Structure 1
Amino acid sequence: LSSIDIDPSDPQHLLIAFSNYGIESVWESTNGGASWSSIQGDLPDFPVRWAIFHPLHGEQAFLATEMGVWSTAQIDASSRSATAWVPDNEGLANVRCDMIRYRVSDFTFVVATHGRGLYTATLQVDTMTTLVADQSHESFLPVWPNPATDFVHIPTSFSSNRLIHLAFRNVEGRYLSKEKLQVSPGEILRMPVPAAAIPGIYLITLDDGQEVSTQKLLVN
């Protein structure tokens, strides 16, 4: 067993990798490890040394492998061969990669290679563009005041009633608050800063099922 990762949005959703030849290398659990399904898909037969979920989309994943970084836009455990993996090595040779990590504070992926140093890739903060294909659209979320102490206002521009998910998390990905809201057209939301939020940088995310909008917030 070479790595274990937990979906930042669902602690029951787990991802593990094995580093060897001739085995099922990548497995998923949706019930906290009570049962596991192979998501090997069309991944070639090589060691997988590290596996992580996409930090904003638990249905996507990245792998550090014997032949560079590979990714999937849709984890599919319906059958062993269902998940489609693609090499994600632009700017990075097909070399052994030992670890891949994500830093929420500045939206940076870091890949550690064997003998060729570190490589980085950055998600664009203004558009939150993903590194792999994604059907949802992501955008900048305006909030005020920023910095904030007690609460923030979040404007919306929906033309009809909309069910949304609103989340407040720290730069390590831990959620301090999550709620589901029914929002009216043009409504301005008032979101309290969680009592557990010490001074520092946090992320506010609004997801309406079609668009995911995110903003950094400085808490005084």
Structure 2
Amino acid sequence: MKTLLALLILCGAAWAQDKPRDGDAPRPERPREGARPGQPGPRDGDRPPAPREGGRRPVPPFNPDEVREWLQANEPQTFARLAELQSSNRREDVARILENASVRMRELNDLKTRDPKGYERVQELRRLEREGVELAEQARRAAPDQKDEVTKKLQENLGKQFDLREEQRVREIAELKRRVESLEKSLGERKAGKEKIVEKRRRELMGEKVDEEW
């Protein structure tokens, strides 16, 4: 009897210690073996969270000297701005400009390899944009007897920019149409082969050998 009474007292004391008091934060559940605390595994159908709006993707490693040379050859105005920031010891701004320029440099190099003609069109547009900025500056500072001539050159430059941009949009629309047609064709083929696809998936889930992809 005494032994039973002692066990009841011990159990009651242990229960009182485990029971959270008012205002106490609940104890976290002990993670299962192999699980990370506070990070439950994804459920079926869950997708990783999308990056926040306005969030930047990490910039791949790059060679700052190589980017500077590229800016000097392709974006002299940006290169001049970079030199001003470096002389003012504004390291964060310098790093930001180099990072952004490294992305543009990589994209243009990829385009040059993939589509040489498209690369030439982009380079021509960039040249016209730089020229347009210079002409606008000249027009603002031109003497009255020269202002009309410089303004006319600026209008011609902007007209060429417009034409190139419209040509690019036409090509982009054509590419989108081609991709849509390809997707529609693929969708039709999958619908036509539904039974075969479902059977392959069943065999795959049951651990049977499947030669073709799902």
TM-score if structure 2 supplies the norm length? Answer: 0.22
Q: Which has more strand, going by share of residues?
A: 1
Q: Which has more helix, going by share of residues?
A: 2
Q: Greater relative contact order (Cα 8 A, min sep 6): structure 1 or 2?
A: 1
Q: In terms of Rg, which structure is larger?
A: 2
